[in-house]
Amino acid sequence: MSSCVGGRSLIGEVCALASRAPPPPRAPPPPPPALQVLTHCLENHHCRALVLKSDVLSCVHKLRSSERSRHGKASLAAWVSLAEGLARYSDGAASLLELRKVLVTPNLRGQVMTAIAHAAHHQRSVFLQSPELLELLSGSLIAGAAGEVAAAARAVWALAANNHRAKLALRSAGVSSAAHTALERLHRGGGGDHALQLLTYVNTVLTST
């Protein structure tokens, strides 16, 4: 799919379709099938490179503007799946985090937290140097639903594991306090067992020397 025919590739054409200029009012946003095709091709590094060279990820700006419509919600869900797929790879995680100013918006936080957790495994230094991303993790821990809390806890775990300097940075940024607050909140509210297990471990890691 990444091979060229006449200087063009199928993946490149799908990228162009998915990231086309904003449509006129009342027209549907970039079609979910185009984003789904790209998501399924990410394991191939040539295809992934083509996706990253395009501006597909930045189409979230267009999707946010139309997310109240049925088509907009479907496109946003497809974009989130693409973001999660890309974030599993170091190069994709780096590209995703370039959109951090978009990712930290309240209406996207819960939907992108799984992608954020994947990215944390590859881009520790970026997270630790970004007050916005650390605040995003704290916000999800303090106020997110159980699934969002679990994803945020996985991200914190990835950042703190076997790294004393990272633990200090997370404590200084208030992430450790947020994790403790989240643990107490889920205990009181009967949160999901998976989230509670992750938070218990994360709190142990963050408080250890």
The b-or-e profile of 18-35 (16+ CB within 10 A means b, else e) is: bbeeeeeeeeebbbbebb
pLDDT at 25: 52
Tokens coding 60: 């979230």
What is the spatial distance between Cα 34 and Cα 14, in angstroms, rounded to a whole number? 6
| Residue 9 DSSP symbol | E
Rounded to 5°, angle at Cα 176 from 121 and 187 = 100
45-90 confidence digits (pLDDT tens): 888 888 888 877 876 555 555 545 555 677 788 889 999 999 999 9
Q: What pLDDT band is residue 97 in, cutting at 50, 70 and 90?
A: very high
Sign of CA dihedral 8, 14, 20, 26: positive
pLDDT at 7: 39
pLDDT at 2: 46
What is the spatial distance between Cα 203 and Cα 209, in angstroms, rounded to a whole number? 12
pLDDT at 10: 63
Least confident of 19-23, 92-96, 179-183: 19-23
- Please return the burial class of 101, using the count of CB atoms within 10 Å of its CB with bins 0-12, 13-18 and 19+: exposed
Which residue bears the tokens 């399924």?
A: 40
What is the spatial distance between Cα 116 and Cα 197, in angstroms, rounded to a whole number? 19
Which of 101 and 123 is assigned the larger pLDDT?
123
Section 122-131 average pLDDT = 95
pLDDT at 207: 86
What is the spatial distance between Cα 99 and Cα 92, in angstroms, rounded to a whole number? 12
Section 120-124 average pLDDT = 95
- Please return the burial class of 193, using the count of CB atoms within 10 Å of its CB with bins 0-12, 13-18 and 19+: exposed
pLDDT at 27: 52
Phi/psi at 208 (nearest 5 deg)? -80, 155
CB atoms within 10 A of CB 161: 14
Could you tell me the residue ranges of all domains in the chain? Answer: 1-87
